[in-house]
A = this chain, B = another copy of it.
Amino acid sequence: MVNWKLVSDRKKGQVNNSIPEEWQVPGISLDMESSGFLNTSDYLDTILPPNEKALTTLSASELASRIHRGELSSYKVCYAFCHRAALAHQILNCCTEIFFDKALKRAKELDNIFEVTKTTVGPLHGIPVSLKDQINLPELDSAIGYVALSGKKSTSKSLIANVLEEMGAVFYVKTTVPTAMIASETVSNLHGYTWNAINLNFTSGGSSGGEGALIGAGGSVLGVGTDIAGSIRIPASFQGLYGLKPSYGRIPYMNVKNSYAGQEIMPSVIGPMARSLADLEMFARAIVSCETWNIDPNIVPIPWRDMSFLAKRKLRLGFLWDDHLMKPHPPITRALEETFNALKFHGHEIVQWDFPYQKDVLDLAKEVLGADGGHEVKLLCEEGGEPILDCLKYAFPSLNDESSSISMGVNEWWKLAEKKNFLKEKFLEHWRETANATSSGEEIDAIISPVWPFAGFEAHAIPFDPINYTVPINLLDCTSVVLPVTTVDVTVDKKEHDYIPTNEDDASVKDYYDLARFDKMPVCIQVVCKRMEEEKALAISSAVLDCLKGTFK
């Protein structure tokens, strides 16, 4: 039997030792707390050299143009992000692999190329990109939170890493995930707990929680996450970031380590997380332009499409206020209201979105996630000699009961696939029917929806997974963009005392609303488009943001 604590201690030691000594700050979390900070990003701004602070607050797009114009060196940018990531990790515990030396060497090489050729190698020249632990890089682990997989170094590179590097990206860290990546809280026996960059009492979210924390703290400007039930969108939302959950087959997942790799009814997808919407588009456009359909058989040959036609007319948007199964907290509803008002003010048309099969979609998604009764999780945890964490039991209730962990048979699985197709058909039908509700008689362009029913949560506080507003998007294979709208404000967001919950989880959600707890936490919304409409979701998100800022013409 493996002693999982030894493996874990060794791994954590390795990660910390890979931080250069001059950047190691023992007791940094205590320093931060004694300085009165809960927000890691704010705290880091106070202790970093001003030039590094300045560099690490720029967007990836801004960095890319300054590097392209010769105003910034890749090395300087890389150095600043390595330093900030090193500090962020020591506070938030968000990295699984740290390799600054390789990154700085690569940045130097890119600078040399630029000096000789007077041009950049691609649209991401010199941009530091953080990678969720799943993405394979040679000679590094892709342990995805499992003790059993620690120390099993990859021998190859994920296609997306190849493509990003070809376009000039610089890798410097890989980031934490919950064991098996089926949880909305990032915690594992291997790496421990990853904290929220905005509030140290909160979870960073999951499963791309390491990305959420690192980008939220400014230790990364652009990161790669994955999403099977909300794993890009939840941490983006909990840290007030932008995230793109594409449809399956648009951004290459080839040779990325995964749980349940052959589960194709509701496959995990890969996408960017960032602090600016433009950065999501820069990422997606660059990847799609590489025509990876000639390499990854699951990529569909659709080039990046122009969406300028959308700017020439008013938008038509469906609003999902509440799924009637889990009522969002008041700050979430306020974020939707503010978006609604801003869109209305600018003349866009809004209809109600109430999909009659919402509960069926949610139930089916949970059946799909739990189809093997936790068989794979159990095997790998046993192999590593580690106990199964509670959060995994939310996805696999049968893990609570040793005897009942039974995989379903293939005929039952095929029935789930049939049901999925039925629900996707109904979804498109409902979407088409919105044409009856708009003044133009045309269907809606997108749905505006909550991401999470509340503005994040404290460590271990929620004994279930409120994925009501995220996982249906996965089952339906829609495109979704998460964008920050507001923050919780104790002076305006009051508890709704007279609401009568419709079920037990809904009651728990209501109970969890304690105003002081959430103050200043970010609130994000989702802009959801149909399958394979990444360009459209991004363009509409941009219009929504402009409305919110009042700059839309």
**Measuring CB to CB, which residues of chain A are less than 8 angstroms from any residue of chain B?**
249, 254, 260-265, 293-298, 300-302, 371-372, 375-376, 407-419, 421, 424-425, 427-429, 431-432, 476-477, 530-533
Contact among B260, B262, B371 with A416 in the assembled complex (CB-CB below 8 Å):
B262
* 14 A-B pairs whose Cβ atoms sit less than 8 Å apart in the complex: A249-B300, A260-B414, A261-B414, A293-B531, A293-B532, A294-B431, A295-B425, A295-B428, A297-B421, A297-B425, A297-B428, A301-B531, A372-B410, A407-B409
Chain B residue contacts of A409, Cβ below 8 A: 372, 407-410
Chain B residue contacts of A415, Cβ below 8 A: 262
Chain B residue contacts of A260, Cβ below 8 A: 414
User: How many subunits of this chain does the assembly comprise?
Assistant: 2
Chain B residue contacts of A371, Cβ below 8 A: 410
**CB of A222 to closest CB in B, whole Å:** 26
Task: Please state if B414 and A297 are interface contacts (CB–CB under 8 Å).
Answer: no
Further pairs besides A261-B417, A264-B264: 19, Cβ < 8 Å: A254-B421, A262-B415, A262-B416, A262-B417, A264-B265, A293-B531, A294-B431, A295-B429, A296-B425, A297-B425, A298-B424, A300-B302, A301-B302, A301-B532, A372-B414, A407-B409, A410-B412, A410-B413, A413-B413
Q: Which of A261, A376, A427 is the most central at the interface, judged by chain B CB atoms within 10 Å of its CB?
A: A261
Known contacts A408-B409, A409-B407; decide if A300 and B300 are in contact (CB<8 Å).
yes
A375's closest neighbor in chain B, by CB? Answer: B411
Task: Please state if A477 and B297 are interface contacts (CB–CB under 8 Å).
Answer: yes
A432's closest neighbor in chain B, by CB? Answer: B294
Contact among B293, B297, B413, B477 with A262 in the assembled complex (CB-CB below 8 Å):
B413
Task: Please state if A414 and B295 are interface contacts (CB–CB under 8 Å).
Answer: no
Chain B residue contacts of A294, Cβ below 8 A: 428, 431-432, 530
**CB of A491 to closest CB in B, whole Å:** 44
Chain B residue contacts of A302, Cβ below 8 A: 300-302
Chain B residue contacts of A297, Cβ below 8 A: 421, 424-425, 427-428, 476-477, 531
Chain B residue contacts of A531, Cβ below 8 A: 293, 297, 301
**CB of A420 to closest CB in B, whole Å:** 8
Task: Please state if B301 and A418 are interface contacts (CB–CB under 8 Å).
Answer: no
- How long is the Cα–Cα vector from A460 to B260 in the complex, in angstroms? 42
**CB of A159 to closest CB in B, whole Å:** 9
Chain B residue contacts of A414, Cβ below 8 A: 260-264, 372
A371's closest neighbor in chain B, by CB? Answer: B410
- How long is the Cα–Cα vector from A533 to B294 in the complex, in angstroms? 12
A292's closest neighbor in chain B, by CB? Answer: B428
A416's closest neighbor in chain B, by CB? Answer: B262
**CB of A136 to closest CB in B, whole Å:** 14
- How long is the Cα–Cα vector from A413 to B262 in the complex, in angstroms? 8
Task: Please state if A254 and B425 are interface contacts (CB–CB under 8 Å).
Answer: yes
**CB of A307 to closest CB in B, whole Å:** 13
A532's closest neighbor in chain B, by CB? Answer: B301
**CB of A73 to closest CB in B, whole Å:** 35
Chain B residue contacts of A264, Cβ below 8 A: 264-265, 414, 417
Known contacts A262-B418, A407-B411, A428-B295; decide if A532 and B300 are in contact (CB<8 Å).
yes
